[in-house]
Amino acid sequence: MARLNLDVNGQVHRIDADPDMPLLYALRNDLGLNNPHFGCGLAQCGACTVLVDGQPARSCVRPVAAVAGAKVVTLAGLGTPEKPHPIQKAYVEEQVPQCGYCINGWIMTAAAFLKRNNRPTDAEIREALTGLKCRCGTHMGILRAVKRASEMMG
């Protein structure tokens, strides 16, 4: 066990944990942040995605000790109901979700992408979101939502 400081959504939390424990477990079990989901546990689906220093990271395979000193942002830190991030707003406007299990990964990945490129082509959006999975098949809605968010941000 080790004592670790985690900077998550702008707040520093102190936890005692096995340094090799996945960041996902610390977020969900120690901090009660349940937006990142456990899907595959193998970095294959993206449901557990968070931002680490602004970059999308699959928290199911990232040891918690590896993010000590970094700034972690989860979906709960991206926007608020009063002031949603454009991609959150666009998701609602496009009525994207079905079961909703995958949403976290798509939104966090898209938010990081749109920060780098807020006037993307359809091909760039598809490439940026490669590797994320949605078993409900909402892919066309997701593409529309990212496009809509880019128009709000552009």
The residue ranges that bind ligand FES (CB under 6 A) are 38-41, 43-48, 58, 60, 97-102, 134-136, 138
Q: Least Å distance between CB 119 and ligand FES?
A: 26
The amino acid occupying position 42 is: L
Contact 59, 23 (CB under 8 A): yes
CA distance 8 to 56: 14
DSSP 45: S
Q: Least Å distance between CB 57 and ligand FES?
A: 10
Q: Least Å distance between CB 4 and ligand FES?
A: 20
* H/E segment holding residue 23: helix 23-25
The residue among 25 and 101 lying less far from ligand FES, judged by its C-beta, is 101
The residue among 31 and 40 lying less far from ligand FES, judged by its C-beta, is 40
CA distance 81 to 48: 21
The residue among 69 and 131 lying less far from ligand FES, judged by its C-beta, is 131
The residue among 28 and 85 lying less far from ligand FES, judged by its C-beta, is 28
Q: Least Å distance between CB 94 and ligand FES?
A: 13
The residue among 101 and 147 lying less far from ligand FES, judged by its C-beta, is 101
Strand partners for 63: 22
Q: Least Å distance between CB 148 and ligand FES?
A: 17
CA distance 29 to 24: 8
Q: Measuring CA to CA, how many Å separate 12 from each of 8, 27, 28, 69?
A: 6, 12, 15, 10
